[in-house]
Amino acid sequence: MGNLDGKTIIITGGGKGQGAAEVKLATNLGAKVVVTDVLDDEGNQIAEETGNVYHSLDVTDPEQWSDVVNSTVSDFGRIDGLVNNAGIFGHGGILDSDIEQFKKIIDVNQIGTYLGMAAVAPIMVSQMSGSIVNISSIAGMRGRKAIGYGASKWAVRGMTKCAANELGSYNIRVNSIHPGAIETDMLSGLGDATINRLVSNVPMQRSGTPDEVGTAVMFLLSDEASYISGTEIVVDGGLIA
């Protein structure tokens, strides 16, 4: 028995890292999970390991979102939760950024999150219930040199509040999670020197795990968070404190 018993949850970017951790945690808590990703091999593997279903999904494509939502409702009859986890990172500030990279980051991190919310909202409205969890970042809480990534994560934070305001009367909750230095491919891609410098500034003196982010996500998906909406939970070991 778990606090997500009977719930159907869609998780984007569920093939590896933080998304895969969320798939496993939700499954262990009793949810039926629709695993989505552009990494078909990894996504299928996680779905098979956890006894769930997999759908290939490019989060920037509205038609693919429609297919995933329609299939989920056909298979399970409802959508109780959405975790907009899929995201990409890119370096570059005003002086050295590339417009094409900037647009790509915005497309995946911001537009992808918007499309996910827009795709599931009508179903949740018809149910008069639902929980949407958008994965932002501490880069959505303060300025950083990576301007495309920062812009996208600030946008996710803002869109979360707008959606919470709009959908609250339908008993739909929308919240954002803001991870710090979490042990994923995104962190390891920064290189040892940057990682060591980043972690040295964390009051808890360590990086976080995908499960530690996932546990916060599970809480927001559950009925235990029934009066929490339009807010952000920072999971960073005190880094921005």
Rounded alpha-carbon distances, angstroms, from residue 71 to 40, 82, 174, 231: 17, 14, 23, 30
DSSP secondary structure of 49-84: HHT-EEEE--TT-HHHHHHHHHHHHHHHS---EEEE
Specify whether the CB–CB gap between 214 and 21 falls below 8 A: yes
Strands (E), 103-227: 130-135, 172-179
**How far apart, in whole angstroms, are the C-alpha atoms of residue 87 and residue 89?**
7
**How far apart, in whole angstroms, are the C-alpha atoms of residue 166 and residue 154?**
19
Determine whether 149 is an active site residue.
yes
Nearest to 79 by CA among 114, 121, 45: 121
Which residues are 14's β-sheet partners? none
Specify whether the CB–CB gap between 185 and 201 falls below 8 A: no
Structure tokens at 146: 């990576």
Catalytic residue among 114, 149, 170, 227: 149
Rounded alpha-carbon distances, angstroms, from residue 104 to 41, 49, 152, 168: 23, 31, 10, 31
Q: Which residues are catalytic?
A: 149
